[in-house]
Amino acid sequence: MAIDYYENVWHNGKFIPWEEATLHVASHVVSYGTCLFEGIRCYETPQGPAIFRLKDHAQRLADSCKIYRMELAYSVADLQQAMTELIRVNHAQHAYIRPLVFRGLGDLGVNPLKNPIETYILCWRWGKYLGDEALKNGIDVCVSSWNRIAPNTLPSMAKAAANYMNSQLIKMEAVANGYVEGIALDHTGNVSEGSGENIFVVRNNRIVTPPLANSVLPGITRDSVITLAEELGLPVSEQVVPREALYIADEVFFCGTAAEITPLRSIDRIVIGKGRPGPVTRELQERLLAIASGRAEDKYGWLAYVHQPVAAR
């Protein structure tokens, strides 16, 4: 199997082996995509493994469930503890953590309400999301012919599995045309986000990113970037980004848990800036990874150290 997984999986409060973390094909989620999930990185640090912005991810999962009227049996604190224990029992030094809350086996038909809610948390070793050279040299991307999910159809503030059918269309088209990733416009034709990343545009030392109303996931890395940019004296403005602003930017980068901060060196074969990662992107990338890996002081309290009592966090 290609997944470099850790053996223990958390299921409704108990640890089970990876091989037993299976479900019936009649589960509601299989037909209807009834699943809310998260993606969180645990970094190796000199003080042992640390989960990056654990509480914020747990809160976003709770928010996603609320939007979909899914009553989560676990509090945000319970989820934080479960993920911390999962890293501990797996003796992991670093991991990508994937909590999933979905409707299981009970009844078929669109109405989900009669189906049990299952909570699983898996983790595995995940390297560089967009290729080994991506962080260093940047990637070549396109603007997708597929729009991002429109407002009042699938809510983009919820991290729902079903949203990723739209992401898959964007990703597959990009790959089929020889690009690493695609940027989606929203239903009005303005920039939204990548298939699995938020996007930032830099021009003349001004940084902009599309606001949440342009069908973007409220990314936690996006939030970290906004904080770190402010620290560098370059406050980010959340404003509508027309497509063509991408082409004439000095720098454009993607950010996300998996993608971290990935520079874009060309968009639709138009070279961005000098065609290599620019100074703002590099500085933000270095700062984010220094904090995440415990090399720099954690001044915002973003790291949840796994081998400390939960109360101390």
User: Which residues have a catalytic role annotated?
Assistant: 159
Single-letter amino acid code for the residue at 96: Y
Strands (E), the chain: 8-11, 14-17, 35-37, 40-43, 50-52, 95-103, 117-124, 139-143, 181-185, 191-194, 198-203, 206-209, 236-238, 251-256, 260-267, 270-271, 303-305
Q: Please identify, among the stretches 115-123, 135-143, 215-223, 268-276, the one whose residues bind ligand PPE according to the rule CB under 6 A.
A: 215-223
99 is a contact residue toward ligand PPE (CB under 6 A): no
- Answer for which of 79, 86, 87, 217 binds ligand PPE (CB under 6 A) is 217
Per-residue x/- mask for ligand PPE, residues 219 to 258, rule CB under 6 A? xxxx---------------------------------xxx
CA distance 99 to 84: 12
Give the total of residues touching ligand PPE (CB under 6 A). 15
CA distance 25 to 10: 20
Contact 62, 54 (CB under 8 A): no
Per-residue x/- mask for ligand PPE, residues 23 to 52, rule CB under 6 A? ----------------x-------------
Closest CA to 43 of 300, 290, 310, 313: 290
Residue nearest to ligand PPE (CB): 39
193 is a contact residue toward ligand PPE (CB under 6 A): yes
The tokens of 23 are what?
């479900």
Residue 108 or 161: the one with the smaller Cβ distance to ligand PPE is: 161
CA distance 119 to 82: 11
Q: Closest separation between CB of residue 177 and ligand PPE, Å?
A: 19
CA dihedral 80, 83, 88, 93 (to 10 degrees): -110
Residue 42 or 115: the one with the smaller Cβ distance to ligand PPE is: 42
Contacts to ligand PPE from residues 253-292, by CB under 6 A? 256-259
Q: Closest separation between CB of residue 87 and ligand PPE, Å?
A: 16
CA distance 220 to 227: 11
Residue 8 or 257: the one with the smaller Cβ distance to ligand PPE is: 257
138 is a contact residue toward ligand PPE (CB under 6 A): no
How far is C-alpha 178 from the chain's CA centre?
A: 23
Residues that bind ligand PPE (CB under 6 A): 39, 167, 193, 196-198, 217, 219-222, 256-259
